[in-house]
């Protein structure tokens, strides 16, 4: 799979303005520190990290909204600063902040956006965008009359109007209701299936778990981890099985103790914790052999959210920059 966005040793140091002349222009910790990253064509890449980690700054440096202090960013092989107009044309950005003119209508907003890139918005494309973002009813309304969630949907439409090859979504579903969030996830997958590469930031870990092929974790401007999501869930993830017994027992048979099982809920539940993905057969087989009948089964899996918290709270988080 070819690389579509290449970031090499990117550092961004904003200049802070202090109150006193002594503090003015003083440099603080860089917003991005020596970040290198390669994003592959056609993947959904989730950029995670707490507030202030540097996610928006990273997107800004790649999409031309801010100038890095050092390092380079390339999109489809072209440098984002030297080949400014090419790289701007092939990327779309859904910014974290709402940034459109409140006096245009929804439809005008989409048409003008395509026009900025010299693209005429075809009728079919306009209808597709309005439909996918559920804004058909609002097409002739001024954007200032939209609700917060609708404005966010329109931002996504704007970013897609010129059919970018790489789409950057900076917290696209903040403030969007649950049903629509799921619709947007579906639409993001459709875009990916058509070949659009998607870079997503989100504080909803469920969103990254649902959508992402790979996950990166930024913390205080540094890249702590880049890994395939499934591999990450597998290597950190554990699953706890709760087997609800038909009849409570007082003593656990040795064969089950050997499989790491324990009793809970006054002998009504047998619990086993094992790496996610490991077969359940041996535990269930041993239970049957011991003459224990199971009334119900519950499973509880370590999700991305648990892993995220675990990684951020490690004392010395070493970088895990995988494939
Ligand atoms: N224009 C700016 N001028 C000065 N400092 C800035 C500017 N923009 C961001 N910063 C600082 O850079 C750091 C990274 O900010 P950034 O917006 O990239 O974080 P983020 O990961 O997107 O956070 P969030 O999850 O809150 O959106 C923060 O310390 C922030 O205060
Ligand atoms: Mg941000």
Q: What is the DSSP string of 71-87?
A: EEEEETTEETTTTHHHH
How many Cβ atoms are within 10 Å of 133's Cβ, its own excluded?
A: 23
**What is the pLDDT at residue 26?**
55
Q: Do domains 3-233 and 238-301 have the same CATH topology?
A: no
User: How many Å apart are CA 174 and CA 203, to the nearest integer?
Assistant: 8
Residue 304, pLDDT score: 86
CATH class of this structure's domain 238-301: alpha beta
Instruction: Give the integer Cα–Cα distance in Å for 236 and 311.
Output: 10
Secondary-structure class of domain 3-233 per CATH: alpha beta
Q: What is the pLDDT of residue 203?
A: 92
Is 156 a pocket residue for ligand 1 (Cβ < 6 Å)?
no
Task: Please list the ranges in the chain whose pLDDT falls under 70.
Answer: 1, 17-27, 315-323
Instruction: Report pLDDT for 27.
Output: 61
| pLDDT given for residue 273 in this prediction | 86
Ligand 1 neighbourhood includes 68 CB (under 6 angstroms)? no
The whole-angstrom separation of Cα 201 and Cα 59 is: 9
Structure tokens at 91: 């990327």
**Could you tell me how far CA 184 lies from the centroid of its own chain?**
13
pLDDT of 245: 95
Q: Where are the domains of the chain?
A: 3-233, 238-301
Could you tell me the pTM of the whole model? 0.83
In DSSP terms, 228 is beta-bridged to: 214
| Both structure tokens of 8 | 């090499």
What residues are neighbours of ligand 2 (ion), with CB under 5 Å?
55-56, 96
Confidence (pLDDT) at 319: 60
Q: At what angle do helices 304-312 and 229-236 cross, to 10 degrees?
A: 70
pLDDT of residue 212: 96
> How far is residue 44's CA from residue 41's CA, in Å, rounded to a whole number?
9
253 lines ligand 1 (CB under 6 A): no
Q: What is the pLDDT of residue 127?
A: 95
Any idea what the Cα angle at residue 99 is, between residues 12 and 13, rounded to 5°? 10
Mutate to test the pocket of ligand 1, among 56, 68, 94, 200 (most ligand atoms within 8 A of CB): 56
């Amino acid at each position: 799979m070819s690389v579509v966005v290449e970031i090499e040793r990117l550092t961004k140091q904003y200049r802070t303005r202090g109150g006193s002349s002594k503090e003015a222009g003083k440099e603080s910790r860089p917003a991005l520190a020596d970040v290198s990253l390669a994003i592959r064509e056609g993947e959904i890449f989730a950029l995670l990290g707490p507030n202030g980690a540097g996610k928006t700054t990273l997107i800004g440096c790649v999409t031309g909204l801010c100038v890095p202090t050092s390092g380079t960013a390339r999109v489809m092989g072209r440098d984002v600063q030297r080949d400014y107009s090419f790289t701007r044309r092939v990327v779309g950005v859904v910014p974290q902040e709402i940034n459109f003119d409140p006096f245009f209508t929804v439809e005008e907003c989409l048409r003008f956006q395509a026009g900025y890139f010299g693209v005429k918005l075809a009728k079919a494309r306009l209808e597709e965008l309005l439909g996918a973002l559920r804004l058909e009813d609002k097409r002739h309304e001024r954007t200032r009359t939209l609700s917060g969630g609708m404005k966010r949907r329109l931002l996504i439409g704007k970013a897609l109007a010129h059919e970018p090859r790489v789409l950057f979504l900076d917290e696209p579903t903040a403030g969007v209701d649950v049903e629509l969030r799921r619709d947007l996830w579906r639409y993001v997958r459709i875009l990916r299936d058509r070949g659009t590469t998607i870079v997503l930031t989100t504080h909803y870990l469920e969103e990254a778990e649902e959508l992402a092929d790979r996950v990166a974790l930024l913390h205080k401007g540094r890249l702590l981890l880049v890994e395939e999501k499934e591999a990450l869930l597998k290597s950190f993830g554990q699953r706890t099985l709760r087997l609800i017994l038909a009849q409570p027992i007082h003593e656990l048979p040795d064969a089950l103790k050997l499989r790491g099982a324990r009793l809970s809920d006054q002998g009504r539940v047998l619990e086993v914790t094992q790496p996610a993905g490991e077969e359940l057969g041996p535990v269930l087989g041993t239970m049957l052999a011991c003459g224990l009948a199971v009334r119900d089964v519950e499973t509880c899996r370590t999700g991305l959210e648990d892993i995220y918290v675990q990684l951020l709270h490690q004392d010395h988080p070493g970088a895990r920059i995988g494939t």
